[in-house]
Every structure is written in C-alpha cells, then in structure tokens.
Amino acid sequence: MPATYEPIATTTLTSSQSTVDFTGISQSYTDLFLICSMLADNTTGRYAQIRVGNGSIDTGSNYSRTEMNGDGTGAGSSRDPNMSFIYTNPQISDWVSTTNPFILTANFQNYSNTTTFKTVLGRYNNSGTRLGAYVGLWRSTSAINQIRVFTSAQSFASGSTFTLYGIKAA
Amino acid sequence: MTLQTFTLGTFAQQGVAAVSYESIATVSVGAGGTSTVTFSSIPATYAHLQLRVIARSNNAGNIIYGAASKANNDSGSNYTYHFLYGNGSSAQAIAATSQTSLNIVTQVGNGFTSNVFAANVIDILDYANTNKYKTFRILSGADGNGSGQIQFNSALWMSTSAINSISFTGGDTFLQYSHFALYGIKVA
C-alpha cells in the first residue's frame, strides 16, 4: 500500500542558527505536519515563529493567530491580527531554557488548495514554563510550498530538530 | 543549511516497528455543498482512527460552532463532551452530559472571515475495542484575523460497540472545499 504518512525532510542542527526553511514542498499531499524539538542557544527569551509562502516566504502582514495557554497557575488566551508571522508562545519568557526542549507542532491542512486561506493548527510546550495550543491564519489562497520556522531573537541551538511529514488522503 | 530528505521506506529499513497510517476514505465537498457526511463500513482492523477535517457552512452567522456527529447512528443520550477553549481574551471551559450527539467537528459560518475554514484533528482511540467506551480527542479552531477560537475537546460515546460509522450533520450545509479525511492507524 502506498505510504500515507511519510517524512518529507528533516534536519538536526549542528550549529546555532535562527532560521530553518523547508522549500520545494511537494504538492502531492493533502496535509503537512511539522514537528520541532528546539533548544535555545542561551537563556534570553524568544518566540517561536512560523512563516509560509509560495515561491518565496511571505514577509507581509498577512498572518494572524489565536492561542490559549496554561502556565501552572492559570489559563489564558490571546490574539494577534495583522502580523508578519504566526507566533506561538505568548510570552517571550516562555522559552529561555538551553536544556528543556521547546516542542512545537503545526498542522497545515489542505495546504495546496488555491481557493481557501491557510489555517495552521498546532501545539507548543516547554516544560517548566507554559503549554498551549494555537490556530494561525495565512491570508493567501496560494498553495504552500515553503515553510519557515524562526526565532524572534537569538538562535536555535545545535541539536534542535525539525521534521516535516506529508499526509495523503485517498 | 542542508535539509536531509528521507527516502521512502527509510524507517522500515532501520528496523523501526511498522506502524501503518492508512487512508480509509475521503469526502471533498463539491459545488452545491452537502448537509451530511458519513463514513460507513469502517473496518475494525485498525487500532485507532484519525479524522482530519476543514469545514465551513452556509450558516450566515459570523460564528464558530460544532457540527452534530453520531457514532453508529446512535441517537440516544449516550454522548458527553468537555471543551477547553480560548477566544483571544480568556480561556473558558464547558461540559455537557447525556447528549444525543457528539460535538467533535468545528466549523465556521459563512459570515466568518472569507475563505477561512475551521481546522480539526480528531483522534478516536481504541475505536474497535468492545470492552471500552469510545473516547474522542480533538484539537480544533479557526482564526479570522481579529476573531477566532482555539479549542481542546474531549468527547465520549458511552457504548462498548465497535465504531463502524461516523456521521456529521451540521443542520446547515457544508460548503464546497470542506474536506473530511478518515485514516486508520495500525500497529503491527
């Protein structure tokens, strides 16, 4: 039987860098699933952020997101419209550990549809600070063939892993 | 930065236990829409199921709401659910018991931001086990650039019967480009 859920690409960093790009993404799948296990290169706070694009990464103010979270003492929710990226953790201090991985997942459902805007649905957590879920929007009907994961400041440390899977419906 | 590209089958070649994630059936809503989506004759040969859905309805409201769902066409008061959701301002929780339908698929009305479809990832664990009630675990939501909601749902069908069908009827019409994909997860 043809593979339905298959790895497209993966990388494990061997040095610090602030951006990881997946390019030339095949349009033959139904959905994409991204999973990242990221370490900070120092204890300065940062956000984990996502951009997408078709042919090139869209850096315009075409993104937004709604999220909810819990930090062990309470639960909350926030929203950010008209952004130039989808950012996940709501507080920059959520990710300051060089040892505890910041886990980020993202579902890009019907990413190749050229009629709908693109919804990104995922979760994030960093033990010791916060966990949460988010839904983001890229206001474009273009198919996604590029995905960027990047930090607001500082870098991903060596050992951080990023894997993209394709899911194909019958 | 160089991306490592997997060759198909690499995981199996490395001796990783075969975990099969297979497409069972798909419904892509066409022009004209549809009021009901049903997956029937679901084989009992998998360990778990996953549904991946995007949905928008013809309801004129600027709303995010659930489509009524049933397992095995059971219309009895045999369903419960819990929601934890964030609306951009605060996190809220709701629950309901003795319901006559599940609330596992979230959709947006046609008054919501144009071209936006709600997204859902629904896990149905041990769906064929005849010793357990059936639990549904859902991550879903929609963002409309200044509106929207993200939610965790947990739902229960209080039956030990194996699930062989799942139906979705919003009361409204699912619009074109709504998409329902059912997958089976089998562990060797």
Put simply, whether A55 touches B (Cβ < 8 Å) is no
**Residue B160 forms contact with A (CB below 8 Å):** no
Q: Provide the 8-state DSSP code for B17.
A: P
Question: Over the stretch B99-139, which tens digit does the pLDDT of each residue have?
Answer: 999 989 999 999 999 999 999 999 999 999 999 999 999 99
Answer whether A153's CB lies under 8 Å from A95's CB: no
Residue B73: C-alpha distances to residues A57, B16, B62, B68 (Å): 45, 38, 29, 11
**Residue A127: its pLDDT value, please?**
77
pLDDT score, position A98: 86
The ipTM (two decimal places) reads: 0.94
B151 touches B140 (CB < 8 A): yes
Note whether B52 contacts A75, CB cutoff 8 Å.
no
B87 has a pLDDT exceeding 70: yes
d(CA B42, CA B36): 17
B15 pLDDT band (50/70/90 cuts)?
Answer: very low
Q: Per-residue pLDDT for B185 more than 70? A: yes
Query: How many CB atoms are located within 10 Å of the residue B32 CB?
Result: 8
pLDDT per residue of chain A (170 residues) written in tens, 0 to 9: 556 899 999 999 999 999 999 999 999 999 999 999 999 998 888 899 999 999 999 999 999 999 999 988 999 999 999 999 998 888 888 887 888 899 999 999 999 999 999 999 999 998 778 899 999 999 999 999 999 999 988 899 999 999 999 999 88
Residue B35 touches partner A, C-beta closer than 8 Å: no
Say yes or no: B6 contacts chain A, CB-CB below 8 A: yes
Of B114, B119, B146, the CB nearest to A135: B119
Quick check: B170 pLDDT over 80? no
Chain segment B60-72, per-residue pLDDT in tens = 999 999 999 999 9
Give residue B19's pLDDT.
61
Q: Which residues 103-122 of A have a C-beta within 8 angstroms of B?
A: 107, 109-110, 113, 115-117, 119-121
B107 interaction partners in chain A (CB closer than 8 Å):
none
- Answer whether B145 sits within 8 Å of A81, measured CB to CB: yes
**Residue B149 has what pLDDT?**
97
Question: Distance (Å, rounded) from C-alpha B55 to C-alpha A47?
Answer: 30
Stretch 125-154 of chain A: residues touching chain B, C-beta under 8 Å: 133-137, 139, 141
Q: How far apart are CA B117 and CA B168, in angstroms?
A: 16
B11/A7 CB distance under 8 A: yes
- Percentage of the residues of chain B whose pLDDT score is greater than 90: 86
Strands, sheet with B91-99, edge to edge from the N-terminal-most edge strand:
B19-28, B179-187, B48-55, B118-125, B134-143, B148-157, B79-86, B91-99
Bridge partners (DSSP) of residue B110 are none
pTM: predicted TM-score of the whole model, two decimal places: 0.93
Question: What is d(CA B127, CA B123) in angstroms, rounded to the nearest whole number?
Answer: 10
Phi, psi of B14 (to 5 degrees): -85, 5
3-state secondary structure at position B1: coil
B30-57 residue pLDDT tens: 999 999 999 999 999 999 999 999 999 9
The tokens for A1 are: 């039987």
Q: CA–CA separation, B76 vs B6, rounded Å? A: 48
Q: Are B100 and B75 in contact (CB under 8 A)?
A: yes
Tokens, residue A16: 């610090």
**CB contact, 8 Å: B39 with chain A?**
no
Q: Do B145 and A64 touch (CB under 8 A)?
A: yes
Residue B2, pLDDT > 60, answer: no
Is residue B97 over pLDDT 80?
yes
Which among A6, A21, A137 has the least Cβ separation from residue B143?
A137
B4's tokens? 């490592």
Cβ of A110 within 8 Å of Cβ of B139? The answer is no
Strand ordering across the sheet containing A86-87: A19-22, A146-151, A48-53, A86-87
pLDDT band with cut points at 50, 70 and 90 for residue B1:
very low
B129, amino acid identity: N
Mean pLDDT of B170-184: 93
